[in-house]
């Protein structure tokens, strides 16, 4: 009998020494879509005007889920649009003036804005042409005066030698006593007057030529100043128009954001409000969207005690709380990702719970986020398929390695031995 007990004990020791046990780390979490659950939130503060979906409704990508009040946006859009049309029409009016063409209306031009621009076009052209006509009148007068002075100067130049000869002849006759001195003096006076008239006409020619040159330059200056003013106005208007276009594009984008649309196909979940007229703040999560027909993966939270032994690629078995693993089995998986830092479980965005033993020094739970790729997206028992759904609670058993039964039995003793005598 003793021999049998000794043999059994020896066999038990051999089994404990060579028998292997799997070392696993348990991590709790839930199933999530591969692209994660989407949130729907407004870009800026507003009022809800329409709620177009309900909890559990299937929606398609781009479908409008909710609309915000557009009163303020419409007013801003109209103001920017009017300013844009004003600047655009003004630039076309300037281009027409520079090209010396008629300013024509386009089909999309607002009548009031076009009429205002047309009135300015006509006023500018009238002022420009009036200035040109006034200066041309001065130039034409100078040309007439120049022509008359040249004609008179030519006539005097041709007749002056005759007057000179008459004066000289009468002077000789007066010396010989054939004519009186008064007659000789009268001829000399006529010659002197004609000489002065010639000088006067020459001065008039010089003055008319100067006036004509100045008038021509003035005409060029009027045109140059007119075009320079238009070019400066166009350049300034161009920069303002670019700015207005940017503001208009930005306003259009903000207006489009007042329609909250589905980012992809999915199922509506967690609608935050059902009240029309609710005031919402920027970034408020109004609903979530669970992606449809996407590959699921397990998001689990690993405790600090286990994270040092977990790495990418480790084999994992995933238990689902919805299906008893004793009957339905487990889903095989593989660790695909492990976060680089711990996360406060109370502030997780996904809502999964960290293990209760993962505590920070201040008592708050901390855990490392891990993603597990699943080998199957359903459980099959007796030929019946049991689908997996996002949000199912899971427990992932991550395979860390093996150890002997003896190591397992002696680990508490070794731990107590190492800690013995160290208590304060």
Q: Sorting pLDDT into bands at 50, 70 and 90, what band is 109?
A: confident
Q: Are residues 303 and 376 in contact, defined by beta-carbon separation less than 8 angstroms?
A: no
Q: Sorting pLDDT into bands at 50, 70 and 90, what band is 204?
A: confident
Q: Are residues 261 and 60 in contact, defined by beta-carbon separation less than 8 angstroms?
A: no
| Tokens, residue 9 | 């004990």
Long-range contacts at 354-357 (CB < 8 A, ≥ 24 apart) = 354/28, 354/301, 354/303, 355/26, 355/27, 355/28, 355/301, 355/303, 357/303, 357/305
Q: pTM of this prediction?
A: 0.62
Run of H or E residues at 381? strand 378-381
What are 23-46's pLDDT values in tens digits? 888 999 999 998 888 999 999 999
Residue 294 has pLDDT above 50, yes or no: yes
Question: Is 36-69+258-292 a CATH 2.40.50.100 domain?
Answer: yes
What are 340-394's pLDDT values in tens digits? 888 865 555 444 444 444 455 445 568 899 999 999 999 988 888 888 999 899 9
Instruction: Tell me how far apart the alpha carbons of residues 342 and 388 are, in angstroms, rounded to a whole number.
Output: 28
CATH number listed for the domain at residues 18-34+295-419: 2.40.30.170
Closest CA to 152 of 86, 219, 211, 208: 208
Radius of gyration of the chain (CA): 52
Dihedral pair phi/psi, residue 201, rounded to 5°? -65, -35
What does the pLDDT read at residue 134? 83
Residues in the chain: 424
- Partners of 39 in the β-ladder: 288
What does the pLDDT read at residue 310? 92
User: Looking at residues 56-85, what average pLDDT do you find?
Assistant: 91
What does the pLDDT read at residue 301? 92
The Cβ-side half-sphere exposure at 218, using a 13 Å CA radius, reads 15
- Partners of 284 in the β-ladder: none
| Most confident by average pLDDT, 27-41, 165-179, 203-217 | 27-41
* Crossing angle of the two packed helices 111-176 and 181-256, in degrees rounded to 10: 170
List the end-to-end C-alpha distance of the chain, in Å, as a whole number: 49
- The C-alpha angle 243, 248, 251, rounded to 5 degrees, equals 125
Q: Which residues of 215-248 are buried (b: 16+ CB within 10 A; e: fewer)?
A: beebbeebeeebeeebeebbeebeebbeebeeee
User: Looking at residues 276-289, what average pLDDT do you find?
Assistant: 92
DSSP string, 234-270: HHHHHHHHHHHHHHHHHHHHHHHTTEEE-SSSEEEE-
What does the pLDDT read at residue 326? 86
The residue to which tokens 């967690």 are assigned: 270
């Amino acid at each position: 009998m003793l021999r049998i007990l000794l043999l059994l004990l020896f066999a038990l020791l051999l089994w404990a020494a060579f028998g292997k046990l799997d070392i696993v780390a348990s991590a709790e979490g839930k199933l999530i879509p591969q692209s994660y659950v989407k949130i729907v939130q407004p870009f800026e503060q507003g009022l809800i005007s329409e709620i177009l979906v309900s909890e559990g409704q299937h929606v398609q990508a781009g479908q409008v889920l909710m609309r915000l009040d557009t009163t303020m946006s419409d007013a801003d859009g109209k103001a920017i649009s009017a300013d844009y049309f004003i600047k655009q029409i003004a630039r076309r009016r300037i281009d027409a003036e520079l090209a010396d063409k008629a300013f024509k209306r386009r089909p999309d031009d607002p009548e009031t804005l076009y009429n205002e621009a047309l009135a300015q076009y006509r006023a500018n052209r009238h002022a420009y042409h009036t200035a040109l006509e006034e200066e041309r009148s001065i130039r034409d007068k100078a040309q007439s005066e120049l022509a008359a002075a040249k004609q008179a100067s030519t006539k005097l130049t041709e007749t002056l030698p005759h007057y000179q000869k008459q004066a000289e002849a009468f002077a000789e006759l007066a010396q010989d006593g054939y004519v009186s001195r008064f007659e000789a003096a009268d001829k000399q006076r006529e010659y002197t007057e004609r000489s002065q008239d010639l000088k006067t006409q020459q001065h008039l020619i010089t003055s008319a030529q100067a006036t004509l040159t100045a008038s021509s330059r003035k005409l060029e200056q009027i045109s140059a100043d007119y075009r320079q003013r238009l070019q400066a106005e166009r350049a300034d208007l161009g920069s303002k128009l670019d700015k207005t276009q940017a503001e208009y594009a930005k306003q259009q984008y903000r207006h489009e954001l007042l329609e909250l649309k589905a980012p992809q196909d999915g199922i509506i979940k967690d609608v935050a409000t059902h009240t029309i007229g609710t005031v919402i703040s920027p970034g408020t999560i109004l609903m979530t969207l669970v992606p449809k027909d996407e590959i699921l993966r397990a998001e689990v939270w690993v405790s600090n005690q286990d994270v040092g032994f977990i790495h990418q690629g480790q084999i994992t078995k995933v238990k689902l709380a919805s299906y008893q693993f004793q009957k339905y089995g487990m889903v095989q998986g593989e660790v695909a990702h492990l976060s680089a830092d711990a996360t406060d479980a109370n502030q997780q965005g996904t809502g999964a719970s960290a293990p209760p033993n993962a505590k920070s020094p201040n008592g708050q739970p901390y855990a490392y986020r891990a993603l597990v790729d699943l080998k199957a997206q359903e459980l099959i028992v007796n030929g019946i398929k049991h689908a997996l759904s996002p949000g199912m609670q899971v427990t992932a058993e991550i395979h860390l390695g093996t150890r002997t039964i003896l190591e397992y039995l002696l680990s508490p003793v070794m731990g107590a031995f190492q800690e013995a005598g160290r208590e304060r």
